[in-house]
Amino acid sequence: MIEFLLNNEIVCLTDINPNTTVLQYLRDQQQRCGTKEGCASGDCGACTVVTVELDAQHTLQYKNINACITLISALHGKQLISIEDLKVEQQLHSTQQAMVDTDGSQCGFCTPGFVMSLFALQKHQSGYDKHAVQQALAGNLCRCTGYRAIDSAAKQALTSPPLDHFDPLADDTRDTLLQLAKNSSACPSIEHQGKICHLPSNIQTLTELLRIHPESTLLAGGTDLAIEVTQHGREFSQLISMLGVSELQQVTITDQQLEIGAAVSLNACQDILRGPFVDFANLLERFASLHVRHTATLAGNIANASPIGDTPPALIALNASLVLRSADQQRTELIEDFFVDYRKTTLQQGEFIEKIIIPIPQQDFHFKVYKVSKRLDDDISAICAAHYLCLDKDNRVSEIRMAYGGMAAIAKRASHTEAALLGELWNQATVDKALLHLSTDFQPLSDFRASDQYRLRCAQNLLHKFFLETQATIDVTTGAIKMRISDYV
Ligand SMILES: Cc1cc2nc3c(=O)[nH]c(=O)nc-3n(C[C@H](O)[C@H](O)[C@H](O)COP(=O)(O)OP(=O)(O)OC[C@H]3O[C@@H](n4cnc5c(N)ncnc54)[C@H](O)[C@@H]3O)c2cc1C
Ligand code: FES
Ligand code: FES
């Protein structure tokens, strides 16, 4: 049985197909049809709802998510708020009123989704911040109103918002969520006509389940798996959700390394990475949308093994490794060895990614990662290129790792190019010679995202860009970027 709060009412579900999405549940079983279905693939935000959960300090965290690609099991222990819950009698919520006042809606199909994203933002953000608004709304598309009016709505909604009817109930909600967590068994499950999803709460139960059912499909945020259900009509018969496994939610930060548990969301990873690897955190701002990052995990992105996944190139360049675990063993593997062939990894049946370990460099380093896609927000990469470089006191390359996505069947290092750089002076002439080796390292494919020639030229240009950026210094008085031209002409 899973238990959650539907607004303020506790719902217990036992007999339900685990392939049911939150959107289907709301519309078909709860007749809450205010939440719309547009694309059913996480791309438009029409289905946006808000989940509320407790963080480690027991503070309520409001998250906008895509109901269309969230499987029902993800609601266990949370509060679910849909658009119907915002209005009280005839009184619109301040986010709804803002959309009315600023003419933020025309056909109205996208409007419930925008309102829910604004509502979640309003709960964390006081005062208008353009960047925060863009991040919060990047996963919501509007075909007719235009974003200026919606931005004005955001301004109104975030400037001195009045208390709403959720605020006085915050303590009750917190207590109920704590009680739900306390009541939950070690391994709740839902099942319907032979299709089952287990939700283990600790690693021992997880490994035991995998010993008994090694053929199970592991479910994390479900942002890849649910697409199989909504776009390809697939039904999983045996799912094991990783999200509630307490050990997999852990993050450990030392001077030497970051350890990120497999159930940690990409949004949480962004905060963790911002300290040592700001460019990695910035890359994640362009990973899908905030809706997706609220549920998707780093481990899911790795295990999915897509050649155009955004995080593998960065992790390879940072020399990250994976702790892989099964009922019988635990092993550690460099992430660059994990990818074998197109969507093939070294993961064995009954094994799972337990955590990702990223070493923190102990000397000065340059790290840059570039994502090239047709659109800035919420788009898949044509190419993703990550570069890690250390220079010795004579300006020679003492360490270099360059990893590319979108250039081969797997994310992989440019080993010939690296060899041409290692030990050489880091200057324009060396880089010009080295970038010719990229055509030995990669023979990319043409597809609707980019041609083979574009990909290769782009990879070369990105190495050049990296070189130029390592030459940049910042004038602390003006903030202007200065290039040390003499170093590369
Ligand atoms: C609208 C949209 C936009 C997207 N944009 C991007 C993007 O910009 N860049 C990008 O790289 N990807 C993108 N994706 C893909 C997807 O969001 C990511 O791959 C995400 O990180 C998957 O994580 P998840 O937790 O949702 O994985 P899930 O869907 O739960 O699982 C993915 C796969 O990993 C396996 N798995 C999950 N956890 C583990 C584990 N701990 N051990 C072993 N196997 C495991 C599952 O069995 C499954 O095969 C996008 C997806 C959508 C729907
Ligand atoms: S319906 Fe388009 S994101 Fe869910
Ligand atoms: S108002 Fe029509 S799609 Fe946004």
Predicted confidence (pLDDT) at residue 167 exceeds the cutoff of 50:
yes
Give the nearest ligand 2 atom to 23 CA.
Answer: 4
Q: Report the mean per-residue pLDDT for the chain.
A: 95
Predicted confidence (pLDDT) at residue 122 exceeds the cutoff of 80:
yes
Find tokens 């790795």 and name the residue: 302
Is 278 a member of any domain? yes
Residues 269 and 208 in one domain: no
* Closest by CA position to 226, among listed 40, 413, 2, 472: 40
Give the nearest ligand 1 atom to 289 CA.
Answer: 3
Is 246 a member of any domain? no
Q: How far apart are CA 228 and CA 295, in angstroms?
A: 16
271: Cβ contacts below 8 Å, ≥ 6 apart: 281
For the chain, what percentages of helix, strand and coil (3-state, to nearest 5) are there? 35, 25, 40
Residues 77 and 206 in one domain: yes
Q: Tell me, what amino acid is at 112?
A: P
For residues 297 and 262, the answer to whether their CB atoms sit within 8 Å is: yes
Residues 151 and 186 in one domain: no
Using the 3D structure, point to which of 189, 210, 241 is the last residue of a domain: 241
Residues 145 and 191 in one domain: no
For residues 35 and 44, the answer to whether their CB atoms sit within 8 Å is: no
Q: How far apart are CA 75 and CA 7, in angstroms?
A: 12
Residues 127 and 193 in one domain: no
* Closest by CA position to 402, among listed 370, 356, 361, 427: 370
In sequence order, what DSSP letters do the residues of 220-272 get, joined into one string?
A: SS-TTHHHHHHHH----SEEEE-TT-GGGG-EEE-SSEEEEETT-BHHHHHHH
Protein residue with least CA distance to atom 4, ligand 3: 142
| Total domains, the chain | 4
Per-residue pLDDT, averaged over 126-133, amounts to 94
What CA–CA distances, in Å, run from 488 to 309, 434, 464?
33, 14, 11
Predicted confidence (pLDDT) at residue 481 exceeds the cutoff of 80:
no
Is 55 a member of any domain? yes
Q: How far apart are CA 381 and CA 227, in angstroms?
A: 18
Determine whether the shortest distance from the Cβ of 421 to ligand 3 is under 6 A: no
* Ligand nearest to the backbone CA of 153: 3
What is the 46 CA–ligand 3 centroid distance (Å)?
10
> In terms of C-beta density within 10 A (0-12 exposed, 13-18 middle, 19 or more buried), how is residue 405 classed?
buried
pLDDT given for residue 437 in this prediction: 97
Q: How far apart are CA 478 and CA 76, in angstroms?
A: 51
What CA–CA distances, in Å, run from 354 to 185, 242, 325?
22, 10, 6
For residues 277 and 318, the answer to whether their CB atoms sit within 8 Å is: yes
Residues 339 and 420 in one domain: no
Predicted confidence (pLDDT) at residue 476 exceeds the cutoff of 50:
no
Is 281 a member of any domain? yes
Is 89 a member of any domain? no
Predicted confidence (pLDDT) at residue 475 exceeds the cutoff of 70:
no
What CA–CA distances, in Å, run from 472 to 399, 468, 489?
20, 7, 14
Residues 377 and 434 in one domain: yes
Protein residue with least CA distance to atom 48, ligand 1: 304
Using the 3D structure, point to which of 187, 208, 241 is the last residue of a domain: 241
Residues 74 and 179 in one domain: yes
Phi, psi angles (nearest 5°) of residue 80: -115, 125
**R_g of the chain, CA atoms, integer Å:** 24
What is the 257 CA–ligand 2 centroid distance (Å)?
37
* CATH at 123: 1.10.150.120
Per-residue pLDDT, averaged over 348-366, amounts to 96
This prediction has a pTM of: 0.95
pLDDT given for residue 448 in this prediction: 87
pLDDT given for residue 482 in this prediction: 52
Determine whether the shortest distance from the Cβ of 146 to ligand 3 is under 6 A: no
- For 329, the domain range is 251-359
Residues 296 and 400 in one domain: no
For residues 430 and 391, the answer to whether their CB atoms sit within 8 Å is: no
Predicted confidence (pLDDT) at residue 194 exceeds the cutoff of 50:
yes
Is 280 a member of any domain? yes
What is the 416 CA–ligand 1 centroid distance (Å)?
30
Using the 3D structure, point to which of 359, 391, 410 is the last residue of a domain: 359
184: Cβ contacts below 8 Å, ≥ 6 apart: 3, 76, 77, 201, 244
pLDDT above 90 covers a percentage of the chain that reads: 92
For residues 192 and 15, the answer to whether their CB atoms sit within 8 Å is: yes
Predicted confidence (pLDDT) at residue 485 exceeds the cutoff of 50:
no
Determine whether the shortest distance from the Cβ of 109 to ligand 2 is under 6 A: no
For residues 21 and 230, the answer to whether their CB atoms sit within 8 Å is: yes
pLDDT given for residue 487 in this prediction: 43
pLDDT digits (tens, 9 = 90+) for 439-469: 999 999 999 899 999 999 999 999 999 999 9
CA 234-236-240 angle, to 5 degrees, is 145
Would you put residue 359 in left (φ > 0), alpha (ψ -120 to 50) or beta? beta
Determine whether the shortest distance from the Cβ of 289 to ligand 2 is under 6 A: no
Range with the lowest mean pLDDT among 6-15, 204-213, 243-252, 464-473?
Answer: 464-473
Is 103 a member of any domain? yes
Q: How far apart are CA 370 and CA 71, in angstroms?
A: 32
Per-residue pLDDT, averaged over 343-355, amounts to 97
